[in-house]
Structure 1
């Protein structure tokens, strides 16, 4: 088994030293989803929530979360992000209304942006829940996963669906 990098020789948590790592273009794409009922789907589509445009607020929340990931996740390095792009799409059937959330994060740096992309989609999903919970608290968030990662010494990752 590979050695976990976020633990020192005493088995205590540490922030990994990245000072010797090469600066490269790094990207990550993550996704999540929120399953809602038909009423919530219609209210989101029609702008029927008094708190405002659900997807616009969720998009801003996701971008803000990506920028502040190191404040949420203790061992993450603060990064200067080059770009954060969130998108939304619907999977619809007779029984389910699934809001898909995807985020791509980019930087030129010494460490990857996987956590920033994952944090962004998580915050966006939680924001959708918060804005819609008055209509139904039974929404389901997830699954959440890393889809793609590029750059760095460990090479690229692409999730096989």
Structure 2
């Protein structure tokens, strides 16, 4: 889903520059670079994404939250990305999927269509990779490991 967030921000960056807003420096170039890196990472995953048991994943998700409404979008995006050939940043179908979702969910608040809200964009809308507190967990695990390795442990 990181790629979807990056593509959304690229669309915002393009609209931002088209309106000649200048507070944020070169956002289009930045998001094209981010998407390029993301796509390389995706390619390195090979068939891992295609082989992932999404049915089992959704079963686990629904066991905790039966109100998940984003499954069709997520599954559709994953299927789209698996079948994608070429540069996602320039792919019209990819861009349309993201723009349509923004307009459908946010309606009049969609930044892609609302100049005032677009002007207030600060250069990143959910663009960070989700890490689920891994840095904190890694620090704790390292401390535990180091403590257990000490001679007086």
TM-score, normalised relative to structure 1: 0.25
Q: Per residue, is there more strand in 1 or in 2?
A: 1
Q: Per residue, is there more helix in 1 or in 2?
A: 2
Q: Flag the structure with larger Rg.
A: 2
TM-score, normalised relative to structure 2: 0.26
